[in-house]
Amino acid sequence: MDVPPSTAKGLSLPVTAITAVRHPIRTPIARRGQSPLAPLHTRSYRIYLTGQVVASLGSWMQSVAQDWLVLQLTRSSTAVGIVLALQFLPLVLLGPAGGLLADRYPKRTILFATQSVNAALAITLATLTLSGAVRAEHVYVLAVLGGVVFAVDGPTRQSFVTEVVPPSVLRGAVSLNAAAFQATRLVGPAIAGVLIGSVGIGWVFALNALAGLGPTVGLLRLRTAELRPAPPAAREPHALRAAARYVAARPHVRRTILLAGVVGTFGLNYPIVLSALATRTFSGNAGTYALFNVALAIGSMAGALAVGSLRTTRLRMIVIAGTAFGLVQLVAATAPTIPATFVLLVVLGVVSMGFQSLANSSVQLWVAPAFRGRVMALYLLVFIGGTTIGAPLVGALTNAFGPRVGMAFCGTVPALAALAIGLRHLATTRA
């Protein structure tokens, strides 16, 4: 999973960044791009990214092991879906409050706390599993607690990136985070599969707890003098309403979050449509489904790195990326063969991650530091929470009318939404 402007105290933004904050819609794209690896020149970011890679690897391993454990305990795919819902329900209920904490308190301190609790939860699940005492109810409770932690950790971690790197390479940092996430998405499940078959599920959870040390060690190694902390948000009544009014008053931010919500709700339910496409349309097996996921991951890494070379963006670029995402998915739904589907899924991964990286980094660059945590909490709420809400609808359409119709629906709705938002933006900017 994985985001981000007036200036922080003591931080001097270059002229282009100041312009992007004040007039982000009209900010021209820099003629000269920059290397997508530019953020790696910053020591703090190298340390931060390394910790995130280790943690993400452990999270993917645990995700696979947890699903397998619940399936063994209950022999029910519905139970696996319940665990997924329980993990994201706290984000819906507590996400804005988590963003407010990120705005008011030092983000590094919050991340220390959330990482420690995550490790404790992983150790608890490992102990229960290795001792043979684990029950489905235990997994449900731990899933809820993990969701509560994520409701705080998510917006904090997203907005903390702006304190680690200069604004000029923020987009590259967000894109590298996304590329690393996709790389671990390829490796983590494979490692989990080997461990489950050789030493057992419990040790996967134990290894995830150990992987949680990566971000903690990274946070400890960061030099306070090299960070760019944002000033804490002022204590005020109705702080969450103030953030909502802040977003409502900025059409470019509001429209980007809205489009991200539509894409998340209707466009990103890949497990549903691709698993059905692999088995029902092409009469394949788990290997076919895995092949489709590899294609998406390869394209996603390429898309993330491509966006990282941009210095600034306009809303129109986000709209174009969203439209392309929908259209490519619509075309992929009609692919006649597995090789053709593989190629189109690589392209889909490029435009999908391109849109996500553009939207995520642009929102972070367009909002003031005092609101960044709350705004990113809203972004995560509509983007990740939307995927969970849209899953039943996409699943019902896929079951009733077939995988191609389900996938076509997942492409059509985001494409139409992007076009509508683009036309609305053109109308208001010309008025």
Q: Which has more pLDDT, 326 or 385?
A: 326
The Cα 21–Cα 143 span in angstroms is 38
Whether residue 204 is found in the same domain as residue 117: yes
Domain membership flag for residue 11: no
Q: Which has more pLDDT, 32 or 169?
A: 169
pLDDT at 173: 83
Contact by Cβ (8 Å): 257, 363: yes
Tell whether the model's pLDDT for residue 17 goes beyond 70: no
Mean pLDDT of 423-431: 80
Domain membership flag for residue 15: no
Domain membership flag for residue 9: no
Instruction: Give residue 387's domain range.
Output: 239-431
Q: Which has more pLDDT, 235 or 49?
A: 49
pLDDT at 325: 96
Domain termination residue (choose one: 160, 190, 221): 221
Banded model confidence at residue 32, pLDDT cuts 50, 70, 90:
very low
Whether residue 305 is found in the same domain as residue 333: yes
Domain membership flag for residue 132: yes
Whether residue 217 is found in the same domain as residue 247: no
pLDDT tens digits, residue range 171-200? 788 778 877 877 787 788 778 878 888 888
pLDDT tens digits, residue range 107-127? 999 999 999 999 999 999 999
Whether residue 55 is found in the same domain as residue 156: yes
3-state helix, strand, coil in the chain (%, to 5): 80, 0, 20
Whether residue 423 is found in the same domain as residue 296: yes
Tell whether the model's pLDDT for residue 34 goes beyond 80: no
pLDDT at 381: 84
Number of domains present in the structure of the chain: 2
Domain membership flag for residue 263: yes
Residue percentage of the chain with pLDDT more than 90: 32
> What's this model's pTM, rounded to 2 decimal places?
0.74
Write phi, then psi, for 338 (nearest 5 degrees). -65, -45
Mean pLDDT of 39-54: 90
Ramachandran class of 260: left when φ > 0, alpha when ψ lies in -120 to 50, beta otherwise = alpha
Whether residue 414 is found in the same domain as residue 346: yes
Whether residue 133 is found in the same domain as residue 56: yes
Please list, in sequence order, all residues whose beta carbon lies within 8 angstroms of the beta carbon of residue 89, skipping any fewer than 6 positions away: 144, 147
Domain membership flag for residue 14: no
Whether residue 404 is found in the same domain as residue 323: yes
pLDDT at 311: 64
pLDDT tens digits, residue range 367-380? 888 888 888 888 88
Domain membership flag for residue 227: no
Whether residue 210 is found in the same domain as residue 313: no
Mean pLDDT score of the chain, rounded to an integer? Answer: 83
Domain membership flag for residue 204: yes
Handedness of CA 409, 413, 418, 423 (dihedral sign): positive
- 420 CB-contact burial (10 Å; exposed 0-12 / middle 13-18 / buried 19+): middle
Q: Which has more pLDDT, 179 or 100?
A: 100
pLDDT at 365: 81
pLDDT at 13: 28
pLDDT tens digits, residue range 249-279? 999 999 999 999 999 999 988 878 888 898 8
Query: Of 8-17, 165-174, 292-301, 413-422, which gets the smallest average pLDDT?
Result: 8-17
Mean pLDDT of 293-316: 80
pLDDT at 20: 35
pLDDT at 148: 94
Please list, in sequence order, all residues whose beta carbon lies within 8 angstroms of the beta carbon of residue 82, skipping any fewer than 6 positions away: 140
Whether residue 216 is found in the same domain as residue 297: no
Whether residue 207 is found in the same domain as residue 351: no
Whether residue 274 is found in the same domain as residue 386: yes
Tell whether the model's pLDDT for residue 31 goes beyond 50: no
Contact by Cβ (8 Å): 57, 184: yes
Domain termination residue (choose one: 221, 252, 287): 221
Mean pLDDT of 413-418: 96
pLDDT tens digits, residue range 226-257? 888 877 776 766 777 888 888 989 999 999 99
CATH number at residue 163: 1.20.1250.20
